[in-house]
Amino acid sequence: MMNVPTDCYIGGRWQPAADGATFTVLDPATGAGIAEVADGTAADGLQALTAASGAAPRWAGTPARERADLLAAAYREVVARTEEFAAVITAEMGKPLAESRGEVHYAAQFLRWFAEQTVRISGEVRTTPEADARILTLQQPVGPSLLIAPWNFPLAMITRKIGPALAAGCTVVVKPAEEAPLAALLLTRVLHDVGVAPGVVNVVPTGRPADLSSALLADTRLRKVSFTGSTPVGRILLAGAAANVVRTSMELGGNSAFVVFDDADLDSAVDGVMLAKFRNGGQSCVAANRILVQDGIAEAFTDRVLQRVRAMRTGPGTEPGVDLGPMINARQRQRVHRLVTDAIDDGARARCGAELPQGPGFFYPPTVLTDVPAGSRIAREEIFGPVLAISTFDTEEQAVAASNDTEYGLVDYLFTNDLRRTFRVAETLQAGMIGINRGLVSNAAAPFGGVKQSGLGREGGFEGIREYLEVKYLALDKG
C-alpha cells in the first residue's frame, strides 16, 4: 500500500473530516479501491480558510527570498521523489508510468519557475503628465485563495496553482480532485517537511465539492478562486465569485482544432497529432479535438496515423511498454463511447477502435474516425478521450472558419511550412495558445490559458504570478 496521507491538512495538522466521512479512490486500471480519503465538509473548508486568513499577514510579510527558497526546496524534493510521485499518479489516475514521470517533471518545473519569479515581484515609479506627483505602484498578494484542481494532471495542476500563489505571498485552501487526490496530499507532506509554515497551505479533499466551494465563496475572507475544470462548473464558480467580487482565474474546457495544410511536413504533423491527441490518453483540455486536414494530403496523413494508432499498446499504466492507460472512470468512458457511436450514426467512418472492451478497468481503445461531419457532437464537444476525429478542408479560409466555429478558444495547432500563412492563420485563430508545427504547448515558463468560454487569466510564465497580485497605487505629492 502507498505511504500517502489521506486526511485533511489544516493549519499544519492532519485531521479527518469533521463528520468522519471518507470517500474511496479507485485504480482506473482495475476499478478497485486503493485509498480511503477524508471527505472534507464545508466546516473543514471554513476551518481551512480561518487557518489561511490567520497565516496571511505573516506569509505576505515573509521576505521574497525566503518564500523562493521554500519553493526551491519543494522543487528539489519532488524531483528527488519522482518515482514515488509517479507511482501515485499512475495508481490514482491511470496514465502509463513514463507519462507520470513526465508529469512529475512538468509539475516540479512550476515550483522551480515560481521560486525564480518570487524575487522579481516589483513595482514602478512614474511621474504624472502634469509633473505634480509621483505614481508609485506596489504589487501585493491578493489574499487567501481557493485552488480547485482537476484529476487529469493530479500533481502538475496543483503546483501550477500553489507555485504562483505562494510566490506572490498568498495563503491557500486547496481542493484536489476527488478522483485523484493522492498526489496532492503527498505534495502537501513535502511542503510541510520543507518548512512551509502552518496555515500557508491547507488541503481539503472532498467528494462534496459544491458544499465546500459555496461555503468559501460566501465568506468575505476569501479573495481569490482559481479553477481548472469544465466550462459548466467554471460558470457556477464565476457566478458564486460575483457575490463577494472575488478575483478569478479559470482554465476551462477546450475544443482545439489541429489543422494540417498540404505544405506541412507530414512526419512532424503525424508526430504532432499523436502527441496532441494521446498525451494523457486524450484526457486533457489541450488535446487535439478536431483534426482538420487539407484534401491533398488527407489520405496519406490518415494512413500514417492509422499505422501508428494500430501499433499502440493499451493496458495498465504500471506495465512496461504501455502507450495508453485506462480512462479515469466508467462515466467518462461511457460519455466518450457515446460521442463515438453518435458520430458513426451521423456518417463518420470508424477506422480503428470504437468498441467498448470487456474486462476490468475503464479502458477505451485508441480510436480513429474519418469523414466526421462538422455538426456531429464529437466535433462540437470536448472529447476528453483517446479518439481522433478527422475531417478535411479545401481552402485556408475554410480551415480558419471551421477552427473558430466553437464557443471554446483554448488552443489550436497549425502545421504548415509557409511562413506567411503561419502568421496569417495564427493571428486569426480565436485561441489563447497556438502550437505551430508542434503538438505540445505546455511549459511552466509559458502563459497557459484560453479565450472565449475556455477561461479567464493565464497560468505559468510571467503572467501566472500576476493572477495572485493586486496593484496598489500610491500618489506621492511632489511637494
Residue number with CB closer to ligand SIN (183 or 286):
286
> Residues 465, 168: contact at Cβ < 8 Å?
yes
Alpha carbon distance, N-terminus to C-terminus of the chain: 69
**Residue 465, CB-side half-sphere exposure with 13 Å CA sphere:** 26
Helix (H/G/I), strand (E/B), else coil: 473: strand
- Kindly state the smallest distance separating residue 404's Cβ from ligand SIN, in Å: 21
Residue number with CB closer to ligand SIN (153 or 261):
153
Residue number with CB closer to ligand SIN (462 or 473):
462
What is the sign, positive or negative, of the torsion defined by CA atoms of 195, 470, 53, 458? negative
Residue number with CB closer to ligand SIN (90 or 442):
442
Q: Is 116 a catalytic residue?
A: no
Residue number with CB closer to ligand SIN (362 or 448):
448
Residue number with CB closer to ligand SIN (270 or 286):
286
> Residues 273, 305: contact at Cβ < 8 Å?
yes
Q: Which has the closest alpha carbon to 142: 32, 221, 256? A: 221
* 465 CB neighbour count, 10 Å cutoff: 22
Single-letter amino acid code for the residue at 91: A
Strand order in the sheet with 411-415: 349-352, 367-370, 387-393, 288-294, 256-260, 411-415, 433-436
> Residues 273, 288: contact at Cβ < 8 Å?
yes
Single-letter amino acid code for the residue at 183: A
> Residues 385, 338: contact at Cβ < 8 Å?
no
Helix (H/G/I), strand (E/B), else coil: 284: coil
Residue number with CB closer to ligand SIN (59 or 153):
153
Q: Please pick, among 92, 99, 251, 382, the residue that the annotation labels catalytic.
A: 251
> Residues 405, 366: contact at Cβ < 8 Å?
no
Helix spans in 371-455 (H): 377-380, 396-404, 419-428
Residue 130 main-chain phi, psi, to 5 deg: -85, -5
- Kindly state the smallest distance separating residue 52's Cβ from ligand SIN, in Å: 24
> Residues 233, 250: contact at Cβ < 8 Å?
no
- Kindly state the smallest distance separating residue 181's Cβ from ligand SIN, in Å: 16
Name the site residues for ligand SIN (rule: CB under 6 A). 150, 152-153, 157, 228, 251, 284-286, 442, 448
What's the DSSP call for residue 7?
S
Single-letter amino acid code for the residue at 124: E
Residue number of the CB atom closest to ligand SIN: 442
As annotated, the active-site residues are 251
